[in-house]
């Protein structure tokens, strides 16, 4: 996969991951999530990492770990979009 990934692809996978997690009970393994979304697992993990940092999802590390939505979601899709825009601006700063 190309190092330069469009912001549309990033946003699309982030939203799709959130929708799958909303329909999933308990922890979801990132590899299984990547298969469901037909995405490269390494790329999806980068997206998930940003979602964890933003507080949109929670992660548990380790053998029995995984990701899940917080019990009381406190973020909106507008905040996800803002996160994506900030990431896009950050990436552009390094390309100039």
Residue 10 has pLDDT above 60, yes or no: yes
Mind giving me the DSSP string for the chain? --SS--HHHHHHHHHHHHHHHHT--S-B-HHHHHHHTT--HHHHHHHHHHHHHTTSSEEE-STT-EEE--SS----HHHHHHHHHHHHHHHHHHH-
Predicted TM-score of the model (pTM): 0.70
Name all domains of the chain by residue range, CATH numbers in brackets: 7-95 (1.10.10.10)
- Predicted pLDDT of residue 12: 85
């Amino acid at each position: 996969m190309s190092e330069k990934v469009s912001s549309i692809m990033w946003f699309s996978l982030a939203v799709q991951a959130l929708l799958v997690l909303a329909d999933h009970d308990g922890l979801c393994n990132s590899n299984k999530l990547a298969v469901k979304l037909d995405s490269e697992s390494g790329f999806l993990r980068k997206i998930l990492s940003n979602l964890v940092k933003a507080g949109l999802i929670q992660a548990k590390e380790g053998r029995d770990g995984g990701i899940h939505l917080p019990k009381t979601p406190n973020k909106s899709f507008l905040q996800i979009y803002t996160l994506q825009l900030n990431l896009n601006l950050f990436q552009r700063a390094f390309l100039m």
